[in-house]
Amino acid sequence: MQYPENLRYTRKHEWALVQKDIALVGITDYAQKALGDVVFVQLPEIGAETRKGEPFGAVESVKAASDIYAPLSGEVVDINRSLEDHPEHINKSPYGDGWIVKIRVSDPGETGDLLDSAAYEELVKTEESAR
């Protein structure tokens, strides 16, 4: 499986595309496949504060519900309202139409803690072999 090299990843399977002080955030292809068909996305409010590693929303599928964890601390400046009516975008396009929030990053230094695509791919391989 290929993971986009322009993204950074968390160990809990979120991704972030950081451009200046804004991070576009979603869940990875690996995460959406593990969840199965997504049927509901709980989005935060615009203006909500996120803290790196803390849940800010949730994704529910036919198999399970899972929290979505903030890859970076900051303020939610936009949410993907299309997920309210079309949560399946997360399955069909996890790195495109399935984005979840935009966060104005309050501590740019936190990006150094995120995994690059090669490190994330190794994490996924390790998790898969542990099953």
In a domain, 3, yes or no: no
If pLDDT is split at 50, 70 and 90, which confidence band does 126 have?
A: very high
In a domain, 32, yes or no: yes
| Residue 94 tokens, joined | 């996890």
If pLDDT is split at 50, 70 and 90, which confidence band does 1 have?
A: low
In a domain, 25, yes or no: yes
The pLDDT score that the predictor gives to residue 100 is: 98
**Distance between CA atoms of residues 70 and 16, nearest Å:** 9
In a domain, 2, yes or no: no
The pLDDT score that the predictor gives to residue 72 is: 98
Q: What is the pLDDT of residues 90-116, one digit of tens each?
A: 999 999 999 999 999 999 999 999 999
In a domain, 116, yes or no: yes
- Is this prediction's pTM over 0.85? yes
Q: How many domains does the chain have?
A: 1
Q: What is the CATH classification number for the domain harbouring 60? A: 2.40.50.100
Q: What is the pLDDT of residues 4-13, one digit of tens each?
A: 999 999 999 9
Residue 75's domain comprises 8-130
